[in-house]
Structure 1
Amino acid sequence: MNHPLKDQVALVTGASSGIGRATALALSKAGATVALAARRTDRLEELAAQAPGEMLVLETDVADHQQVREAVARTVERFGALDVLVNNAGLMLNSPIHGADITEWTRMVGTNLLGSMYTVHAALPHLLASKGTVVQISSTAGRTASATSGVYAATKSGINAFSEALRQEVTEQGVRVVVVEPGFVSTELTTHITEPAIQAMAKDMAAAMRTLDPEDIAEAVLYAVSQPAHVAVNEILVRPTDQAR
């Protein structure tokens, strides 16, 4: 069996479900040792029991910079290095801007954008040492915003901008930065939406197309991180064939 990531250490945030879970499993099957960071440790324990390789469970809220630092430190303490960081943790709490519950804005910015930044900040010294790879899970919403997705789209656009600045700072030091922008993926992300009408609209959209599976995005991540060290796949846009925008 091919193990392109043998002896590599990866940290995946938001690993308890969806894209994060599928990516952690794909990295493990490719030979990596994987640290799993999320709040729902029962799901992480279940995943670790199913994986072919060693996994470390880390209860982590990425919106808390101290918890993020501890997660990175525990990963390096346990496995001796960090080669791949996959920033996947995120929330989608879509609603109209007028009359919005701005605590939902704070949650999205704290998790999607600041959480990604905190994790990069904590992991970067180790990734510079290993000449590793940062994978940022963004979204098609980071390219094209739509009504009711303003703040979610802003966080994903922010991830894109932060990632490009990071790439320019570290690429000549051997660190690769990859932005993956999925379209509509069949995950629990839309269940986060608290507005019943918007949640129903999201379900209708999903029912009208052949959505992506989390494993489709995991394969894109695996493709990028498995390239030779001199090859940087900086951006991957993956939409369902049936998704027009």
Structure 2
Amino acid sequence: MTTATSVSPLRGRTAVVTGAARGLGEAMARLLSARGARVALLGREEESLARVSDSLPGEAHCYQVDVTDDTGMARAAAEVRRRLGPPAVVVANAGVAEGGPFPESDPATWRRVIEVNLIGSAITARSFVPDLLATGGYFLQVGSLASIGASPLMSAYCASKAGVESLAHSLRAELAHRGVGVGIAYINWTDTDMIRDADQHAVLRELRGHMPPPARKVYPVEHVAGRLVTAIERRRPTVYVPAWLRATQLVRAAMPAVVTALSRRELPRLDARDPFEATGLLGPGGRAGATTGPGAPR
């Protein structure tokens, strides 16, 4: 971890963070800037992005863009390169979630989760990997405990996070000999607008409430962001927050059977008490307007 007397390897480098208007993306942007990086903030919420950008201690610019828009992301990447220089760090953080029974899920909402979380991460990589090749940089994919073990009632989110884990592993193997590092962050419940919104819905509140005590704990966003930025500085291939999540890799083959057994027992009882309903996209970030394109850089 960078101390008050040490110089971060991020100093003077350009870092890109998607989903930077709030939550984990905002917290990471603040830490990257505090450690000396020039920061490009990408997201769909223009006013929130501008607020974050204007409050950072170092040079920062924001770009209104939807990560699922190939053309918009290519334009944003070109503008970042022009104004801040080619990125040495790219964080694929943008993500949305929804919950509820799969058969009754809205197809457009379900598809949107896959598009933002998985396709958006791939488009982010496609847009910025050429710069990372030039800088010998590092790409961090934000994953989840859901990348390791799927749960009921969150099929789109779990499928997308399993997908980004495979994407990160594939990119790491493909780019290692070309000097680009690729990491994946496995994180659990983090205190963001999205998670606070999830707790307002019985379907997801009950889901978290029936997890083992360590797995249901919500971690401060600043703590999670700090661990991830330190992993960026050290170019780690994996980072787990909390650290005990690493142990789930040892038992992941057994997890589907265990989750199925618990669900077979608990879901009928919970559904009878409070019928499960679709949540729609969670949090103000998930519900942000569909305006795309890089917008006016700041």
User: Which residue matches 2:113?
Assistant: 108
1:237 to 226, 229, 240: 240
| Alpha-carbon contact 1:19-1:187 (below 8 Å) kept | yes
Unaligned runs of 5+ in 2: 249-298
| Alpha-carbon contact 2:143-2:161 (below 8 Å) kept | yes
| Alpha-carbon contact 1:94-1:195 (below 8 Å) kept | no
| Alpha-carbon contact 1:190-1:202 (below 8 Å) kept | no
User: Which residue matches 2:195?
Assistant: 190
Instruction: Measure how far apart 1:239 and its partner are.
Output: 2.9
Unaligned runs of 5+ in 1: none
User: Which residue matches 1:56?
Assistant: 61
User: Which residue matches 2:23?
Assistant: 18
Instruction: Measure how far apart 1:97 and its partner are.
Output: 1.2
Deviations 1:167-219 (Å, cap 9, x if unpaired)? Answer: 0010111110010011011111236669943244368679x754111112211
Matched residues, number? 239
Counterpart of 1:37 in 2: which secondary structure? strand
Alignment CA distance shift 1:224-1:48 (3 Å): same
| Alpha-carbon contact 2:183-2:238 (below 8 Å) kept | yes
Deviates more, 1:64-73 or 1:183-192: 183-192
Instruction: Measure how far apart 1:3 and its partner are.
Output: 3.9
1:223 to 214, 225, 230: 230
Q: Structure 2 CA distance, aligned partners of 1:66 and 1:167?
A: 25
Instruction: Measure how far apart 1:64 and its partner are.
Output: 1.2
Q: Structure 2 CA distance, aligned partners of 1:98 and 1:30?
A: 47
| Alpha-carbon contact 2:93-2:141 (below 8 Å) kept | yes
Deviations 1:210-236 (Å, cap 9, x if unpaired)? Answer: 411111221122112212xxxx41111
Counterpart of 2:186 in 1: which secondary structure? strand
Counterpart residue type for residue 48 of structure 1: S
User: Which residue matches 1:161?
Assistant: 166
2:52 to 39, 47, 50: 47
The TM-score, its normalising length taken from structure 2, stands at: 0.74
The TM-score, its normalising length taken from structure 1, stands at: 0.90
What is the aligned-residue RMSD (CA, Å)? 2.4
Q: Structure 1 CA distance, aligned partners of 2:86 and 2:160?
A: 29
Counterpart of 2:239 in 1: which secondary structure? strand
Identity score, percent: 29
Flag the structure with more relative contact order, 1 or 2, with Cα contacts below 8 A and sequence separation at least 6. 2
